[in-house]
Structure 1
Amino acid sequence: MTATDEFVPPVGWSCSPLRELCASIQSGPSRRAEDKGHTQANGGLPLVLPRHLAEQRIVTATEEAGADPAIPRHRARTLVKYELAEGDILLTRTGTVGRCALVTGEHTGWLFHPNLVRLRLPESRRVSAAYLTAYLSATAAQDWIRARTASAVIPSLSIRTVGELPVLVPPAAEQAMIGATLAALDAKIQAHAEIARVTRDYRSVLADALMTGTLPAEP
């Protein structure tokens, strides 16, 4: 079953194509030869990459983050319309299609990769950003996306196809509860993932120390 096929929404819910809920659906700016070699470390404007989208969040806080590609500052000034704002939603449209993330204040002003789509909601929004992020990550929406990319050699979604995705819209109070509940779980998942990463790093350092005799093994 897709998001709406053979499904009757609960009383008070409605269904709309994604394009009717967004003020804009925008893919990231194309990269140019002059962008090559620029990174966050040498002062380029940070760029959100598809690999940064994990568990409905943008995760860039790694030791290698400074080496990620970035846009030169002089060119970034011409790309203002591609800047991210808090409450935007990013969605991968090429490769590993369908991953999504809610943009928070931490990444306001950043740019985003051309393999990503930015969903920007209007001020008079019918859906909350938290609810829409949760909806896009749910099974029904993901199945709908996969069904439209499965036959491609390189899976991809056009802007037009993204805009056709049907979205179930509950009343505002239910949206708030759904969004808050799933966002809290996403935060826990991310916290546990960080604990696992730190533990793996510690295990590697400890193993090296034990195997070389730098640290004596204790009974």
Structure 2
Amino acid sequence: MTDRWTEEAALPTGWSRPLLKELWASAQTGPSRRPADRERTVADGGAPVVLPRDLRGLRVVTGEPRDIPAIPWDRARMLARYELAAGDVLVTRTGTVGRCALVTGEHQGWLFHPNLVRLRLPKGGRVTAAYLAAYLGTPTAQDWIRTRTAVAVIPSLSIRTLGELPVVLPPLGEQEAIGATLAALDDKIQAHSEIIRATRAYRDLLADALMNGALPVES
């Protein structure tokens, strides 16, 4: 049987299908965390850390300072090579494998969890970061990742395996247009998600107030 992932379907003129490892400048997992740091948060001081759960809708979405883990500044200074930069792409490699997000200036300089892989692209490379993040989030790429995830107590994906992912690559101009179109939709999705979250929180507060008699009901 032909493997549908290796079958070379016809592509438009100027398009290509390189492997992911041919597009990145580096692929790096995050630094290990010491047991003593596991209860530390940004509210206590230190360099903030992006967690796998923060990768939502191709964005890095973090909570309040008290909910963001941190690494003490003295140790963080020795972990400069693990700092995030705008244009990096993060991918979860264990647990909910394949979740991905584009790093923006908001999280530049943050560190990232060891269960994440940071993909850093070369300057002037063949792929834009926005397009790559969008491609990794497509059903096609997600299905490829799921079929190659090692099934164990905790599902995992190695950097070596991730590097074998074929990436359908249009010319740079088309990548930018595609990335901008999908990013605009992702922004709308994120905005609606925040509205839903806030509405649910308000509903819970209102329910408590109504059912405890703290807020009278107009008949």
Tell me the TM-score normalized by structure 2.
0.94
SS at match of 1:134: helix
Runs (4 or more) in structure 1 with deviation over 4 Å come to: 1-4
The 1:175/1:45 distance shift into structure 2, 3 A limit, reads same
Cα distance, 1:3 vs. partner? 5.1
Cα distance, 1:163 vs. partner? 1.4
Cα distance, 1:109 vs. partner? 0.3
What is the aligned length? 217
1:42 corresponds to which residue?
Answer: 44
The 1:91/1:2 distance shift into structure 2, 3 A limit, reads farther
- Sequence identity percentage: 67
**Distance in 2, Cα, partners of 1:54 & 1:132:** 16
**Distance in 2, Cα, partners of 1:169 & 1:4:** 15
The 1:2/1:30 distance shift into structure 2, 3 A limit, reads farther
2:94–2:156 Cα contact (<8 Å) kept: yes
1:171 corresponds to which residue?
Answer: 171
Cα distance, 1:12 vs. partner? 1.0
SS at match of 1:119: strand
2:150–2:157 Cα contact (<8 Å) kept: no
Tell me the TM-score normalized by structure 1.
0.94
1:16-27 correspondence to structure 2 within 5 Å? 16-27=18-29
1:138 corresponds to which residue?
Answer: 138
**Distance in 2, Cα, partners of 1:99 & 1:139:** 11
1:31-180 correspondence to structure 2 within 5 Å? 31-60=33-62, 62-63=63-64, 65-149=65-149, 151-180=151-180
1:218 corresponds to which residue?
Answer: 218
Higher relative contact order (CA 8 A, sep 6+): 1
Cα distance, 1:33 vs. partner? 3.0
1:196 corresponds to which residue?
Answer: 196
Cα distance, 1:150 vs. partner? 5.4
Cα distance, 1:186 vs. partner? 0.7
The 1:3/1:187 distance shift into structure 2, 3 A limit, reads farther
**Distance in 2, Cα, partners of 1:6 & 1:129:** 24
Residues 162-187 of structure 1 deviation map (CA, whole Å, 9 limit, x = unaligned): 11111111011110111011111111
**Distance in 1, Cα, partners of 2:107 & 2:6:** 33
Cα distance, 1:35 vs. partner? 2.2
RMSD: 1.5
Cα distance, 1:6 vs. partner? 4.5
Cα distance, 1:37 vs. partner? 2.6
The 1:183/1:58 distance shift into structure 2, 3 A limit, reads same
Q: Which amino acid aligns with 1:25?
A: A
Unaligned runs of 5+ in 1: none
1:3–1:140 Cα contact (<8 Å) kept: no
